[in-house]
Amino acid sequence: MATMAMAGREMAEMQARPNQRRGLGVAQRNRELFEQQRARRRGPTPEMFFSKHIDNSRIVKADDPERRREMRSFTIAMTLFFALTMVYVWQHFSAIEVGYRVEAQKTQVEQLREENRQLQLNEAQLSDPGRIDHIAKQLGLDEPLPGQVVRPDGMDGTTAVMAQAHMPVLAGN
C-alpha cells in the first residue's frame, strides 16, 4: 500500500514538472531515482550481512524405524505399480503387433486370391478348344482318322464301359 502511495506521489511530481524532466539526461534521472529509493530503505543505516560458517559434519541423523517402514511400503507399492504398468504396456504393444500381422496376412490372402483368379483365367484361355484347334491347324495337324487313336487301357472308345466302385481291403481282417 505504501509503495502505491509513493508511486502515486512520483506520478504527481512528474506531471507537475514535465518541461523540467525533458531537459535532464538519462544518467541524471537514474541517479535521482536511485537516491529516492535509497532514502526509502530501512532507515539511515545500511543493511549489512555477515557470513557465518556452520560445521554440520559431526551431526548424526537418528534412525527412525517408522520412517524406514513407510519407505519400504512405498517402495514395494511403487515396484508393484511399475510391474503392473509394464505388463499392461507389453500386452498393449503385443496386441498392436498381432493386429499388424493379421492385416498383413489378410493382404497376402487377397493377393494370392487375385493371383489364383488370374491363373484360372489364363488356364481357361489356354485350354479353349477353339484356340487349340486353331494352333493345331497352324502347325499342320489334322483331325485323327478312325483307328488312329490308341488308348492305353486297350479300349477303342466305341464300347460302353460300366462304372464300378472298388471297396478298399483292410489289411487287419
Statement to judge: residues 88 and 136 lie in one domain: yes
Whether residue 34 is contained in a domain is answered as yes
Statement to judge: residues 117 and 72 lie in one domain: yes
Q: How far apart are CA 160 and CA 158, in angstroms?
A: 7
Whether residue 98 is contained in a domain is answered as yes
pLDDT of residue 109: 97
pLDDT tens digits for 42-72?
A: 666 666 667 888 888 888 888 899 999 999 9
Alpha helices in the chain (DSSP H): 2-16, 18-23, 26-40, 65-126, 129-138
**37 contacts 6 by C-beta, under 8 angstroms:** no
Q: How many CB atoms lie within 10 A of CB 21?
A: 13
Threshold 0.75, pTM exceeds: no
pLDDT of residue 54: 85
Statement to judge: residues 126 and 70 lie in one domain: yes
Fill in the amino acid letter for 46.
P
* Phi/psi at 149 (5° precision): -90, 125
What's the domain count of the chain?
2
Going by pLDDT thresholds of 50, 70 and 90, the confidence category of residue 29 is confident
Statement to judge: residues 87 and 29 lie in one domain: no
Whether residue 93 is contained in a domain is answered as yes
Statement to judge: residues 40 and 77 lie in one domain: no
Domain that holds residue 83: 66-141
**Stretch 85-102: mean pLDDT, rounded?**
97
Whether residue 169 is contained in a domain is answered as no
Statement to judge: residues 33 and 91 lie in one domain: no
Which of 11-25, 53-67, 135-149 comes out lowest in average pLDDT?
11-25
Q: Which three cell numbers stand for residue 108?
A: 497376402
**Stretch 130-152: mean pLDDT, rounded?**
83
Q: Which three cell numbers stand for residue 170?
A: 483292410
Q: How far lies 107's CA from each of 82, 100, 119, in Å?
A: 38, 11, 18
The secondary structure element, H or E, covering residue 44 is: none
DSSP single-letter state for residue 63 = P
Q: How far apart are CA 12 and CA 98, in angstroms?
A: 77
Name the percent of the chain lying above pLDDT 70: 71
Length of the chain: 173
Q: What does R_g of the chain's alpha carbons equal in angstroms?
A: 53
Whether residue 78 is contained in a domain is answered as yes
pLDDT of 113 over the 90 cut:
yes
Statement to judge: residues 27 and 90 lie in one domain: no
